[in-house]
Every structure is written in C-alpha cells, then in structure tokens.
Amino acid sequence: MSRSIGPVLRQRWRWLSALPGGRWLFSRILGYMAPYTGSVGARIEQLEPGFCRVRLKDRRAVRNHLHSIHAIALCNLGEMATGLALMNSLPENTRGILVGICANYHHKARGMLHAECRCAIPSDNHEQQYEVVANLHDSNGETVTTVTATWLIGPDKPRDDNAN
C-alpha cells in the first residue's frame, strides 16, 4: 500500500470542494488525519498544486495571555499551508516529511488570519529538500508571521503491513 499523499489530496479536494460545505468537511477530515494540525481549527479555502490558502479564526482556544493568537498556533498554521501546497503537488509514488521549521513573528496576530503558500512543484520523486514559505496576514493585509518549512521528499517506500 502506498503512503503517497499527493494523488489522494488532489482527488479528495476536487471532489469535496465542489460540494456545499465540502471545504469545511475536507478541513475536518484533514484535522482528523493529523490531529495536532486539526487542533487549531483552520479551514482550507483554496488548494491546488503548488498553492494553498488557509484561514484561521481568532478565538479563545488559540489565544495566549497577551490576547493575541499564540505563536505555536501561528507556526502550526504556517506548517499546514506549506505542507498542503507541497504535498498536493507531489507526483505519484512520492512522500514527504517536515524536517525543519522556522517562524518569524512580525506583529501580534489578532482577528481573522490567512496563510498563503506558493511553492515550486517537484518534477520527480528523487530525494531532495524543499524550503517552502508561508506568509500569514491579518484582515488588514499586514504580514504577522512568516513560516519557513523544510520538507524532505523522496520515493515512496512499500509499506510492510505485517509490521507492528
């Protein structure tokens, strides 16, 4: 069985995003599959190979003691945007894993946020690292955080279904 996520993401997004409430459902399914990512409650607004736009509502569950969105919630949102933009563009038989992440915080984050990521589309599945950047903007269009994620992609390895 394959662990390649790109083809599955593209198929499920095409199918669900066209339905009423489908983007919300896709976001919830993603959160179920990756529980920590789902913990911030972000919603995927746009997803295509090499591009992702995700939104996060400001609410108590993601706030810190300074009444702004917590730094790690922002980092999580940036990881989500970079991962979806890249993983959604992976060719067949390719897998990826996050190997590094850096977040630069420019302003306190309050209100509705949008994370956008545009990245190069891998042409093959040879092992390589991709540095992918997501910019997080508030409702005024100000960049509040920049997240740089390093993803290692490479050929899919066959799954040993008998392993414990």
For residue 73, being part of any structural domain is answered with yes
- What was the pLDDT predicted at 162? 60
For residue 18, being part of any structural domain is answered with yes
For residue 164, being part of any structural domain is answered with no
For 116, the domain range is: 6-155
Comparing CA positions, the residue from 153, 115, 154, 149 lying closest to residue 132 is: 149
Instruction: Kindly report the CATH number assigned to the domain that includes residue 70.
Output: 3.10.129.10
For residue 1, being part of any structural domain is answered with no
For residue 161, being part of any structural domain is answered with no
* Cα end-to-end span (Å), the chain: 15
Res. 157 pLDDT band, cuts 50 70 90: confident
pTM of the predicted protein model:
0.89
Say whether pLDDT at 22 is over 70: yes
Q: How many domains does the chain have?
A: 1
For residue 88, being part of any structural domain is answered with yes
> Over the stretch 88-111, which tens digit does the pLDDT of each residue have?
988 888 889 999 999 999 999 999
Angle of the 6-17 helix axis to the 71-87 helix axis, nearest 10: 100
Rounded to whole angstroms, what are the CA distances from 144 to 31, 37, 40? Answer: 24, 19, 17
Say whether pLDDT at 12 is over 50: yes
Tokens of 107: 């302003």
> Over the stretch 38-66, which tens digit does the pLDDT of each residue have?
899 999 999 999 999 999 999 999 999 99
For residue 46, being part of any structural domain is answered with yes
For residue 162, being part of any structural domain is answered with no
